[in-house]
Structure formats: C-alpha cells, structure tokens
C-alpha cells in the first residue's frame, strides 16, 4: 500500500496521477472516453481506510454508533480493513455499504500523500483527513463530466465539458496546500451548470417530461409511472414505490433512493445514476440497469 501508484494511470513530472483526458481528434466529431475510468472506481486495497476515519456519522438507521470526524471507526482493523465488512448491514452500518469515494481514497493515500499513511505519519493525519472530502468532490465531478460527454444530444457543449473535465482532473494532482485553498464551491457550481445543460439537451426529446427537481416524494406511490426524461435531480425518493416505473433517460443526480422500491423498474440510460443510489434502494432481477452499473448483491 505504500510507495508510488501501481496502477496504469500515467504520472506527470511531480508524480501525480494524470486522469485520462477527453480528446477530439481532427476529422472526428468526438471520441467517447471510457464509460467509467478505472481511477474513478474505489480501490480499497490502495487506500488507508480514509472513509472509515475522516467523515463523521451519527447513530441512526444508517449507522449503529456516533463517530466524530477524524476518529477511526471501532470496527477498523490494524491492516486498514473493516472487521465486519461482510456483516455491515446486519450490524447496523448500512450507510457504509452505500458509500462511494469515486477513487478519491487511493488518490489521496498513494498520490497526494505519496503512500505515507496517517498511522505511521500522524503529523499528516489532519491534512489528509481535510483533503479527502475535497478530492472526493473532484472525483465525483469527473465521473459526472465523463458521463455528460457521452450524451450525444449534448454535443453543442462538448468543448465546455472537455475544458471542465480537464480543469477538474488537473486539480486532482494539486498539493495538499493547493487543495485546501481551492474554492470548491465555485468550481462545483460551474460544473453543475454544465451538467444541467447536458441533461436538458439529452432530455429535450421528451416533451411531456415531469419536473420533480428537489421534490419531496418520500413514500410516494409512483408504481408503473412514466418518468421518461423526468427531472428528479435532488428529489427525496426515500421509501418511494417505483415498482415497474419507466425511468429511462431520467436525470437522477443527487436523488435519494434509500429503501425505494425499484423492482421491475427500467433505469436504462438514466442520467447520472451512480452505484451508491442502487445500493441504497431495493430491487430484484427484473430491474433493468445501465450496463456500466452492477446489480447489488443484497437485492
């Protein structure tokens, strides 16, 4: 787990991982990037269990205990592995099973801090824990920007998406000091504006699409509802019944699917759907998923 990165991503002269950039070769309208870049997927074997230490959580339906930020979870073993990994849901830690760092953990552990973990180098712990949530936001934005670029109707703004993705990727190679002074809110606002534009262009072919942005749809009965092209950005769908619902090309970025019934639902092409949203929901073998995502084992 120590030393320089062992993955295939190239490094620059400062030793930082350079995320693959989107290219537009001459004579080609566009070249699709890999649907999901390897460095944007969590690799816990190369991380110093930052998600088990850096964030705070409160005793609730998602966590069995209350833990302060920077305090190691009592289930964390000396080898940075979880002592109850196979029993997290049974032990009251469902929140851990739906967390996704988008690969930020290994980037901070192996690149930003060059393999020096917070146990062997406690003087770096405070900075490492402070940098981790910033890196996670950058990686999450890279994930969404990569997907936005694959939306063919969004081609009018592909150059802007390329520029935003390259700028975001460049920040992932910043030093800890640079990351801690990065105006993340401003950067995220700019990216979010582009993501909204891409979404609107992609969903424009659905003239009667429903508008549920930020809506309170907790426990709502939406079974067999036509939600094609719907705007569900930031919607609260906790415990909602979406059995058999048609969610093709619906924008679900930030939607809360905790305990939502997705059995028989069609999520083909759902825009900005991520694995943690599926992991938090309830589905079955009849739920249709985008090819880039996997069916949760607990369904």
What pLDDT score does 6 carry?
28
What pLDDT score does 23 carry?
43
> Which candidate, 190, 173, 171, 70, places its Cα nearest to that of 130?
70
Residue 276 above 90 pLDDT?
yes
From CA 2, how far away is CA 6, in angstroms rounded? 10
Per-residue pLDDT band at 122 (split at 50, 70, 90): confident
| Residue whose entry in the numeric block shows the structure tokens 């870049």 | 37
SS3 label, residue 70: coil
Q: How many CA atoms lie within 13 A of 2 on its CB side?
A: 7
Average pLDDT value for residue range 196-208: 96
pLDDT by residue (tens digit) across 230-267?
999 999 999 999 999 999 999 999 999 999 999 999 99
In sequence order, the β-bridge partners of residue 271 are 251
What pLDDT score does 22 carry?
40
Average pLDDT value for residue range 217-235: 98
Per-residue pLDDT band at 292 (split at 50, 70, 90): confident
Residue 1 above 60 pLDDT?
no
Per-residue pLDDT band at 33 (split at 50, 70, 90): very low
From CA 11, how far away is CA 220, in angstroms rounded? 48
Ramachandran category for residue 169: left, alpha or beta (phi over 0 → left; psi -120 to 50 → alpha): alpha
What pLDDT score does 37 carry?
62
Residue 18 above 80 pLDDT?
no
- Tell me the domains of the chain and their CATH numbers: 38-202 (no CATH), 210-299 (2.160.20.80)
Out of 22-31, 77-86, 247-256, least confident range: 22-31
> Which candidate, 250, 234, 135, 248, places its Cα nearest to that of 192?
234
From CA 225, how far away is CA 296, in angstroms rounded? 23
What pLDDT score does 26 carry?
36
Average pLDDT value for residue range 9-33: 38
Residue 20 above 90 pLDDT?
no
What pLDDT score does 121 carry?
85
Residue 217 above 60 pLDDT?
yes
| pTM for the structure as a whole | 0.85
What pLDDT score does 187 carry?
98
From CA 199, how far away is CA 54, in angstroms rounded? 32
| Residue whose entry in the numeric block shows the structure tokens 């205990």 | 65
pLDDT by residue (tens digit) across 147-172?
999 999 999 999 999 999 999 999 99
What pLDDT score does 202 carry?
97
């Amino acid at each position: 787990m120590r030393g320089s990165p062992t993955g295939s991503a190239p490094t620059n002269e400062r030793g930082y991982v350079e995320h693959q950039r989107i290219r537009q070769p001459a004579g080609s309208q566009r070249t699709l990037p890999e649907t999901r870049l390897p460095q944007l997927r969590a690799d816990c074997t190369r991380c110093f269990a930052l998600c088990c230490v850096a964030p705070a959580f409160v005793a609730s339906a998602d966590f069995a205990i209350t833990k302060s930020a920077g305090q190691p979870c009592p289930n964390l073993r000396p080898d940075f592995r979880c002592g109850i990994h196979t029993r997290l849901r049974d032990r009251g830690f469902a929140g851990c099973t739906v967390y996704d760092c988008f690969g930020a953990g290994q980037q901070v552990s192996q690149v930003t801090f060059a393999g020096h973990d917070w146990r062997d180098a406690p003087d770096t712990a405070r900075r490492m824990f402070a940098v981790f949530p910033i890196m996670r936001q950058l990686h999450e934005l890279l994930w969404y920007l990569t997907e936005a670029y694959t939306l063919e109707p969004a081609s009018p703004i592909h150059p802007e998406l390329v520029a935003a993705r390259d700028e975001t990727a460049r920040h992932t190679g910043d030093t800890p000091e640079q990351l801690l002074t990065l105006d993340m809110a401003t950067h995220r606002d700019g990216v979010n504006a582009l993501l909204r534009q891409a979404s609107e262009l992609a969903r424009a072919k659905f003239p009667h699409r429903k508008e549920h942005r930020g809506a309170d749809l907790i426990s709502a009965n939406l079974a067999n509802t036509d939600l094609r092209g719907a705007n569900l950005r930031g919607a609260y769908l906790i415990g909602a019944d979406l059995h058999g619902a048609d969610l093709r090309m619906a924008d679900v970025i930030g939607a809360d699917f905790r305990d939502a019934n997705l059995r028989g639902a069609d999520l083909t092409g759902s825009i900005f759907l991520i694995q943690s949203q599926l992991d938090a929901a309830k589905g079955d073998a009849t739920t249709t998923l985008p090819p880039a995502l996997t069916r949760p084992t607990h369904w």
